[in-house]
Structure 1
Amino acid sequence: MVREDGKRNFALRESDGDESSVFSGNTPRQAALKAARRLDPAASEDAADRTELRLREKGTDKVHIYDGWAWHESAPDDKPDWMPDEITEANVSKQGIEHLDE
């Protein structure tokens, strides 16, 4: 279901079908990036382990499947005062879409 501001809600599905968190975004990838930032970050992008993220679009039977990974990186030189010196970056790669039979 699309909200008035154009964003859609995506529920993060566990392997047992539990939906623990909800992420919003204009696209499924935007929500997957938000979910990937919550993963345990590695020291670098090359050392990061990929984790499968399954996001069900609320109001539909579509499950968007992504591989996601996160890593620590130094903050940019022109960072604002409130930003820490080390930040978490994330990336995702779409694997496909499944439809639920429920």
Structure 2
Amino acid sequence: MARDKDKRNFALRTQDGDETSVFSGGTPRQAALKAARRLDPADSEDDADPEEIRLREKGTHKVHIYEGWAWEEEAPDDKPGWMPGDITKGNVSKEGVEHLDEI
């Protein structure tokens, strides 16, 4: 497991530049996967519509841009007792990196 010093923070940005949430992860993709799981889930991965996810790395001018989607799946048979019957899974595809002029 990564130590806290290896974690980076990424702010979820809207189209108008507001930063609504912060996700942490060792890589931008890890933070994007966390953000994707908060999207409205489809019934299956094939039915999911990708949405743009923009994450600004805190302390930098970099905005990582992803296409993300989420879907619901039945939990595995060996799930712990506290886990619900359906779980939300997510996936992302990197579209690029944008550099901001100012923060």
Report if TM-score (shorter chain) is over 0.5. Answer: yes
Q: Deviations over 1:41-96 (max 9, x none)?
A: 00000000100000000000000000000000000000000000100000000000
Q: Partner of 1:84: helix, strand, or coil?
A: coil
Partners of 1:32 and 1:45 in 2: CA distance: 17
Query: Greater helix percent: which structure?
Result: 2
Corresponding residue of 1:25: 25
Corresponding residue of 2:98: 98
Corresponding residue of 1:77: 77
What value does the CA root-mean-square deviation take over the aligned residues?
Answer: 1.0
Please list every run of at least 4 consecutive aligned residues from structure 1 whose deviation after the TM superposition is greater than 4 angstroms: none
Q: Which runs of 5+ in 1 are unaligned?
A: none
Give the 5 Å matches for 1:40-79.
40-79=40-79
Deviation (angstroms), 1:101: 1.0
How many residues end up aligned between the 2 structures?
100
Give identity over the alignment, percent: 77
Q: Partner of 2:5: helix, strand, or coil?
A: coil
